[in-house]
């Protein structure tokens, strides 16, 4: 490079992926991620809503499928190294599922919660191919664990059509010195009035 045009240590920044938001999509090339919790599994297909928008429909059991195009899926929270964020990854590709299933059942590797995975995507459309490799076993970085904990993802919301990232926990009731009342046929009983 001609001296002076750009700083000597300059490198082009990584391009932002097209799949912004809370869901990870496999981009061409290497996609490195860490699975943060066991997947939920089921079947998924797409339907058009009343406004003409395509929406995914997910069910847990095979006898609940209402569309021939349904695919078996795994969905799990992951840490995406490309975006440096916690996302949901839904895997419908059988070659990827087979590879991860193989690692999980290999006594030398065990649970994929203990190491990073890399899915390499090559080709386009009908010629798309995926290869999966795993990295050495490592402890989960505490910063990633904290980020995941703060997200409060409700994976079961995928089956109800709700947003898994909008899960809120109801606050615990404030402690009180008052004894709770118990409802009976004769009315409320104040438990503090009981002699024991």
Check: CB of residue 112 under 8 Å from CB of residue 103.
Answer: yes
Nearest residue to 88 via CA among 158, 150, 144, 31: 158
> From the first residue on, what is the mean pLDDT of each consecutive set of 10 residues in the chain (196 residues)?
62 51 95 97 94 94 95 97 96 97 95 97 95 97 96 95 72 48 49 47
Q: What is the pLDDT of residue 180?
A: 47
Q: What is the pLDDT of residue 178?
A: 53
Q: Phi, psi (5° rounding) for residue 76?
A: -150, 155
Please state the domain extents for the chain.
25-159
User: Using CA atoms, how far apart are residues 180 and 76, in angstroms rounded to an integer?
Assistant: 40
What confidence tens digit (pLDDT) does each residue in 83-104 have? 999 999 999 999 999 999 999 9
Q: What is the pLDDT of residue 187?
A: 53
Q: What is the pLDDT of residue 179?
A: 47
Encode burial over 78-116: b for 16+ CB neighbours within 10 A, e otherwise.
Answer: bbbebbebbbbbbbebeebbebbeebeeeeeeeebebbb
Report pTM.
0.74
Q: Phi, psi (5° rounding) for residue 150?
A: -70, -20
Question: Which residues make Cβ contacts (< 8 Å) with residue 29, sequence separation at least 6?
Answer: 120, 121
């Amino acid at each position: 490079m001609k001296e002076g045009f750009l700083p000597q240590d300059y490198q082009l920044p990584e391009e932002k992926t097209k799949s912004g938001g809370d869901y990870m999509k496999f981009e061409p090339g290497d996609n490195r991620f860490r699975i943060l919790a066991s997947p939920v599994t089921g079947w998924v297909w797409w339907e058009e809503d009343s406004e003409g928008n395509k929406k995914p429909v997910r069910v847990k059991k095979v006898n609940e499928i209402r569309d021939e195009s349904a695919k078996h899926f795994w969905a799990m929270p992951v840490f995406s190294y490309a975006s440096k964020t916690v996302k949901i990854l839904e895997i419908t590709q059988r070659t990827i599922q087979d590879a991860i299933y193989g690692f999980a059942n290999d006594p030398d590797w065990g649970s994929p919660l203990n190491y990073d995975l890399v899915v390499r995507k090559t080709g386009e459309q009908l010629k798309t191919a995926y290869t999966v490799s795993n990295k050495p076993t490592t402890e989960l970085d505490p910063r990633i664990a904290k980020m995941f904990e703060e997200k409060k993802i409700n994976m079961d919301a995928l089956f109800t059509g709700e947003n898994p990232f909008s899960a809120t926990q109801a606050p615990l009731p404030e402690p009180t010195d008052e004894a709770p009342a118990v409802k009976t046929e004769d009315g409320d009983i104040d438990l503090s009035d009981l002699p024991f």
